[in-house]
Amino acid sequence: MRSKATIEFLRLWEQLNNLNFKGVEFDTFIFEAGSNAFTLSLSKWVEKTNATGITKKSGKNGGTFAHKDIAFEFASWVSTAVKLYLIKEFQRLKDEENSRLNLGWNLQRTLAKVNYCVYKDAIKENLIP
């Protein structure tokens, strides 16, 4: 939670999935992120920004829980093997889907469409001027 890239990823996820996200509070965190003195606890993140993507529960069966999008991002950052597995699994699923539907696809077209959808949503949410 100290890295600028991590905080930016969390902000984007929250802006796309959480209508109650307090983006103004995020600005303080991104400005300070990356400095040696910067620390950000999960409790502070949730409290200040009203984030919902990561939660913390106390007591028996407690722990830190994240939405699967965020969990995949963290896992792929921690392990290159996980990242490669996710890429290969995505390709396998697309190949299987297309063979079932008798469609052709290429990776560039699929990723361009995903990128366009994210970009379009970001513009709609005023994340990009």
**What pTM value is reported for the model?**
0.69
Question: Tokens for 2?
Answer: 């100290």
Question: Tokens for 89?
Answer: 């699994």
Question: Tokens for 127?
Answer: 């994340």
Tens-place pLDDT, residues 2-11 = 788 888 999 9
**For residue 52, what are the contacts with CB-CB under 8 A and spacing of at least 6?**
14, 17, 18, 20, 21, 67
Question: What is residue 30's predicted lDDT score, i.e. its pLDDT?
Answer: 86
Per-domain boundaries in the chain: 1-78, 80-129
Q: What are phi and psi of 55, to 5 degrees?
A: -130, 160
Question: What is residue 111's predicted lDDT score, i.e. its pLDDT?
Answer: 65
Can you tell me whether residue 129 is helix, strand or coil?
A: coil
14, 51 Cβ separation under 8 angstroms? yes
Question: Tokens for 29?
Answer: 């965190």
Question: What is residue 32's predicted lDDT score, i.e. its pLDDT?
Answer: 85
Provide the sign of the torsion angle of the four alpha carbons 12, 111, 74, 96, taken in this order: positive
Tens-place pLDDT, residues 38-75 = 888 999 999 999 999 999 888 898 899 999 999 999 99
What is d(CA 102, CA 99) in angstroms, rounded to the nearest whole number? 5
Element (H, E) at 56: strand 54-57
